[in-house]
Amino acid sequence: MTVEEKLLKTRFVIDPGRPHITVDASLCLSCRDEPCVYVCPAQCYQKEREQLVFNWENCVECGSCRIVCPAGAITWDYPRGGFGVCYRFG
């Protein structure tokens, strides 16, 4: 089963207005390799017109982005109870 197929079986309960990940875009400007774009299995990070675009609603909470960020631009907290990702849904 591919990563994409596995992600289709994942349920996300979004906590509106309370992202569990925040990105300091000013720190991203100095990053040349942009490892978050390549390591995120849910493709939450995209590079558009020389700017990093982040979509926290699809995050699978693996923490890879925070680990590989050389600038320390990513702040990650656990979602509140009842919110976040639920694996093997469906």
CA 22 distance to own-chain centroid: 9
- The model's pTM: 0.76
Banded model confidence at residue 23, pLDDT cuts 50, 70, 90: very high
Which ranges of the chain does DSSP label H, i.e. alpha helix? 3-8, 25-28, 35-39, 64-68
**What local confidence, expressed as pLDDT, does residue 2 receive?**
81
> Do residues 31 and 73 lie in contact, with contact meaning Cβ atoms separated by under 8 Å?
yes
Strands of the chain (E only): list them.
11-13, 21-23, 45-48, 51-54, 74-76, 84-86
CATH node for 20-77: 3.30.70.20
